[in-house]
């Protein structure tokens, strides 16, 4: 789907109560190498299972504007004979990503059938190396060799993936004490080999507060620098802000410096696949809207990093039970031909405006409806400042499975001396189109009339910001 094709698809799905003014331009995509830093990451997982061809992804990834990529290391792919390690495949991935301006961060796992017998698939997805002295020692050797190989290239290391669910904690039942045992086995090896490494713990499936507290009670906070989690849900906003507050409150009781990373989250672009949320109705436009809502909300909540899963659809997806014969449709690229979806262009638009030059800011952004519409009370807003200009995002948190009728609203913005609007515009993060924003100034407040309220974020900002 090209940008031109996207414009042909989206309007039918976002019918407006009143037509938006003619576009005066579009958000300029920015290559990742052009962006100095950002909190936005992309999923590059499952190469431990050889689920996709990374070479076909790099030309597209280079143009997204993302600055981070989560990569799984793949013990089973690396050590196929005892004591013999082949890191060449991972060398190529790390060097290629760094070459296009994207910093890899490692998710460290999984098992290895040479030492952990029993997995139904040779990749040993989810099998923890804790049930024998031989497995423990082999794991430590592997981690040490891996750290020696990538010291200087990869600084951020996440230990294991979703240990709180049975599929990724085999062959035993999930147990926070046992997970921390694995972290305690792994962390000293990494810190000795890479003294300035940053260690990420958790990688929790969902937001399991009880399990998380069990990990902290067992000493996880002493061993890691960040905590990550994977908040899959059909409506990105559902109960999410409260859960983030709860996690932060919990972390503050044990180690206030622990920051939160949203490490893996995505939505399918088609129904009938496999993986989280696959049992619901999806299409490529719904996926793109979901991506924008999840990542922008994470940025607004001040998460240190937010990662979208995944770069490309994974055909014949391999999970803990082995090959599924089905596709995981969460990629921003299509799995059959590696062409971009609507979500790819939405990600480009978001990355172009929300790098490290854009920071959260607390200014007044109010939404009203002349018809006193009850839905207005549920409208989500997010406020930022970029290079002296405000960015005010507005969207309705609709259930994307049900559908929702877009409408227009009035928006008032008061920034005081924090930021200034000279030529107000409305930037559509889904299509990338930029429209003039009809407005008037009353005292220090800018009043926008007929702002399109959609089920994905649109941004009120200054024309200089979107054209820079």
The pLDDT tens digits of the residues spanning 259-275 come to: 999 999 999 999 999 99
**What confidence score (pLDDT) does residue 321 get?**
87
| 366 and 334 within one domain | no
| 345 and 364 within one domain | no
> Taking 80 as the threshold, does the pLDDT of residue 231 lie above it?
yes
Of 354, 373, 401, the residue at which a domain comes to its end is 354
Main-chain phi, psi angles of 368, to 5 degrees:
-135, 160
- Name the residue range of residue 174's domain: 31-354
The region of weakest confidence among 149-158, 356-365, 370-379, 406-415 is 370-379
| 340 and 417 within one domain | no
Domain for residue 410, yes or no? Answer: yes
Domain for residue 110, yes or no? Answer: yes
Domain total of the chain: 2
**Tokens (6 digits) for 148:** 């020696």
| 323 and 437 within one domain | no
Q: Decide: helix, strand or coil at residue 430.
A: coil
pLDDT band per the 50, 70, 90 thresholds, residue 298: very high
Domain for residue 294, yes or no? Answer: yes
Could you give the angle at the alpha carbon of 459 between the alpha carbons of 418 and 329, nearest 5°? 135
> Taking 60 as the threshold, does the pLDDT of residue 19 lie above it?
no
**Tokens (6 digits) for 36:** 């100095």
**What confidence score (pLDDT) does residue 443 get?**
87
The pLDDT tens digits of the residues spanning 126-182 come to: 999 999 999 999 999 999 999 999 999 999 999 999 999 999 999 999 999 999 999
- pLDDT > 70 in the chain, percent: 95
Domain for residue 26, yes or no? Answer: no
The pLDDT tens digits of the residues spanning 102-118 come to: 999 999 999 999 999 99
pLDDT band per the 50, 70, 90 thresholds, residue 69: very high
Q: Decide: helix, strand or coil at residue 221.
A: helix
| 286 and 183 within one domain | yes
> Taking 70 as the threshold, does the pLDDT of residue 1 lie above it?
no
**What confidence score (pLDDT) does residue 6 get?**
63
**What confidence score (pLDDT) does residue 188 get?**
98
- In 3D space, the residue among 309, 104, 72, 108 whose CA is nearest the CA of residue 202 turns out to be 108
**Choice between 222 and 21, residue whose per-residue pLDDT is larger:** 222
- In 3D space, the residue among 292, 300, 305, 303 whose CA is nearest the CA of residue 332 turns out to be 292
Using CA of residue 16, residue 29, residue 362, residue 232, what is the dihedral sign?
positive
pLDDT band per the 50, 70, 90 thresholds, residue 393: very high
HSE at residue 392, side-chain half, CA atoms within 13 A, is 28
pLDDT band per the 50, 70, 90 thresholds, residue 13: very low
| 370 and 304 within one domain | no
Of 354, 374, 399, the residue at which a domain comes to its end is 354
The CATH number that applies at residue 275 is: 3.20.20.80
Of 324, 354, 384, the residue at which a domain comes to its end is 354
- pLDDT > 90 in the chain, percent: 91
| 397 and 344 within one domain | no
**What confidence score (pLDDT) does residue 310 get?**
98
Domain for residue 293, yes or no? Answer: yes
The region of weakest confidence among 19-28, 80-89, 159-168, 294-303 is 19-28
The CATH number that applies at residue 380 is: 2.60.40.1180
Contacts of 442 (CB under 8 A, 6+ apart): none
pLDDT band per the 50, 70, 90 thresholds, residue 344: very high
Contacts of 454 (CB under 8 A, 6+ apart): 14, 395, 396, 406, 430
Using CA of residue 232, residue 197, residue 39, residue 42, what is the dihedral sign?
negative
The pLDDT tens digits of the residues spanning 203-226 come to: 999 999 999 999 999 999 999 999
Instruction: State how far the alpha carbon of 250 is from the alpha carbons of 82, 101, 180, in Å.
Output: 41, 35, 17
Q: Which neighbouring-strand residues pair with 441?
A: 446
The region of weakest confidence among 246-250, 350-354, 369-373 is 369-373
| 413 and 335 within one domain | no
Domain for residue 168, yes or no? Answer: yes
Q: How far apart are CA 14 and CA 26, in angstroms?
A: 18
| 440 and 332 within one domain | no
| 114 and 177 within one domain | yes
| 308 and 168 within one domain | yes
> Taking 50 as the threshold, does the pLDDT of residue 17 lie above it?
no
Q: Are 344 and 332 in contact (CB under 8 A)?
A: yes
* Average pLDDT score over the chain: 94
| 381 and 250 within one domain | no
Domain for residue 14, yes or no? Answer: no
Please compute the mean of the pLDDT values over residues 276-297 and round it to a whole number. 98
pTM: 0.96
Domain for residue 20, yes or no? Answer: no
């Amino acid at each position: 789907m090209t940008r031109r094709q996207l414009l042909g698809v989206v309007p039918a799905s976002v019918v407006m109560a009143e037509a938006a003014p003619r576009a005066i331009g579009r958000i300029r995509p920015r290559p990742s190498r052009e962006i100095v830093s950002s909190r936005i990451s992309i999923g590059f997982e499952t190469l431990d299972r050889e689920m996709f061809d990374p070479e076909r992804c790099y030309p597209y990834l280079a143009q997204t504007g993302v600055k981070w990529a989560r990569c799984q290391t793949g013990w089973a792919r690396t050590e196929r004979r005892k004591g013999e390690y082949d890191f060449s495949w991972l060398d190529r991935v790390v060097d290629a990503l760094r070459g296009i301006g994207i910093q890899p961060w490692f998710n460290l796992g999984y098992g290895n059938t040479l030492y952990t017998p029993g997995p139904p698939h040779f990749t040993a997805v989810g099998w923890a190396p804790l049930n024998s002295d031989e497995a423990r020692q082999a794991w430590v050797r592997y981690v040490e060799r891996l750290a020696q190989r990538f010291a200087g290239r990869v600084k951020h290391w996440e230990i294991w993936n979703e240990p709180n669910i049975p599929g990724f904690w085999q062959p035993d039942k999930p147990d926070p004490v046992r997970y921390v045992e694995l972290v305690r086995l792994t962390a000293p090896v990494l810190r000795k080999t890479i003294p300035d490494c940053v260690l990420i713990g958790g990688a929790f499936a969902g937001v399991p507060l009880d399990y998380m507290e069990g990990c902290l009670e067992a000493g996880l906070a002493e061993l890691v620098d960040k905590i990550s989690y994977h908040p899959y849900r059909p409506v990105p906003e559902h109960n999410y802000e409260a859960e983030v507050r709860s996690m932060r409150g919990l972390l503050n009781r044990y180690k206030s410096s622990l920051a939160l990373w949203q490490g893996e989250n995505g939505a399918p672009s088609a129904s009938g696949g496999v993986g989280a949320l696959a049992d619901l109705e999806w299409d490529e436009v719904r996926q793109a809207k979901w991506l924008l809502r999840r990542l922008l909300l994470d940025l607004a909540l001040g998460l240190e990093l937010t990662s979208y899963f995944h770069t490309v659809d994974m055909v014949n997806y391999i999970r803990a039970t082995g090959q599924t014969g089905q596709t995981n449709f969460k990629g921003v690229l299509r799995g059959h031909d590696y062409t971009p979806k609507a979500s790819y262009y939405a990600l480009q638009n978001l990355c172009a405006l929300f790098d490290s030059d854009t920071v959260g800011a607390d200014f007044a952004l109010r939404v009203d409806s002349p018809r006193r519409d009850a839905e207005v009370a549920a409208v989500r807003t997010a406020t930022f400042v970029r290079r002296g200009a405000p960015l005010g995002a507005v969207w309705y948190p609709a259930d994307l499975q049900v559908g929702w009728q877009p409408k227009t609203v009035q928006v008032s913005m008061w920034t005081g001396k924090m930021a200034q609007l000279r030529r107000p515009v409305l930037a559509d993060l889904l299509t990338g189109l930029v429209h003039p924003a009809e407005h008037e100034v009353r005292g220090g407040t800018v009043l926008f009339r007929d702002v399109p309220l959609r089920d994905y974020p649109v941004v009120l900002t200054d024309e200089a910001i979107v054209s820079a």
